[in-house]
Amino acid sequence: MTLPYLAIDIPEGERTPLVNWLLNLIAQQQQLLEGQQETIAKLEKEVTKLQEKAASLDEQLLAAKDRELNNLQF
């Protein structure tokens, strides 16, 4: 997800302290969102790896159960 660029062009001479504070707040929030998006992307990769590992373990468990059943039948 890409954040939209906020084209805010207010000449320095026309900025009030409140406008400056709001512009800084917007910039901080954009950085925070970008950091969160990176963290989410990393976590999604980790979840995918864990799901693959769980599927592999499920397959191993089923194979072990099948072997056990085969051993009990003989």
| pTM recorded for the entire structure | 0.65
Distance CA 74, CA 46 (A): 42
CA dihedral of residues 29, 30, 31, 33 (deg, nearest 10): 80
pLDDT higher than threshold 90 for residue 52: yes
- How many Cβ atoms are within 10 Å of 72's Cβ, its own excluded? 7
d(CA 1, CA 30): 12
Token pair belonging to 9: 């062009």
**Exposure string for 45-66, b = 16+ CB within 10 A, e = fewer:** eeeeeeeeeeeeeeeeeeeeee
pLDDT tier, 71 (very low <50, low <70, confident <90, very high otherwise): confident
The confidence score (pLDDT) of residue 74 equals 66
